């Protein structure tokens, strides 16, 4: 585990948003099946923030599911994102990401290579990896 690359467990097709997008775009992402519930925010190809499902839910309180609610069109990603999020690089190992997630401060960690987002690892990704490789 100490030497196994984070690339072995990360999700590679990362859905990202930019700070200027409307919350409606975030809503539509969360409505898709099998989604991580953490969305990296990138600007000019660089990681600038993260949006968690909790961030989103707190900021749309009472808005309901209709796309027509004003909050979805008036608020932007930059209004709710966590700035300067924790991340790891592709040089990290599964042990590195396991330690980071086990502290409970994060539930998903973006993975960068040459300052570009190339993956994301969630606690669910790690559990699936360990179940697959422990049996």
- Residue 122: band (very low, low, confident or very high) from pLDDT cuts 50, 70, 90: very high
DSSP 85-133: ---EETT-BHHHHHHHHHTSS-SEEEEEETTEEEEEEEHHHHHHHHHHH
The answer for residues whose C-beta is within 8 angstroms of residue 111's C-beta and 6 or more apart is 6, 7, 10, 87, 88, 89, 90, 92, 117, 118, 119, 120, 121
pTM of the model as a whole: 0.89
Domain ranges of the chain: 6-134
What is the per-residue pLDDT across 42-87, written as a single tens digit (0 to 9) for each?
A: 999 899 999 999 999 999 988 888 999 999 999 999 999 999 999 9
| CATH architecture classification, 6-134 | Roll (3.10)
């Amino acid at each position: 585990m100490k030497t196994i690359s984070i690339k072995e467990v990360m999700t590679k097709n990362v859905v990202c948003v930019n700070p200027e997008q409307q919350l409606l775009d975030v809503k539509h992402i969360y409505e898709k099946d099998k989604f991580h519930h953490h969305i990296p925010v990138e600007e000019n190809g660089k990681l600038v923030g993260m949006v968690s499902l909790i961030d989103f839910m707190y900021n749309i309180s009472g808005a309901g599911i209709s796309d027509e609610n004003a909050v979805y069109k008036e608020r932007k990603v930059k209004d709710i994102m966590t700035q300067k999020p924790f991340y790891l690089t592709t040089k990290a190992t599964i042990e590195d990401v396991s330690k980071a997630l086990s502290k409970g401060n994060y539930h998903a960690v973006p993975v960068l290579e040459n300052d570009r987002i190339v993956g994301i690892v969630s606690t669910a990704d790690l559990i699936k990896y360990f179940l697959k490789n422990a049996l």
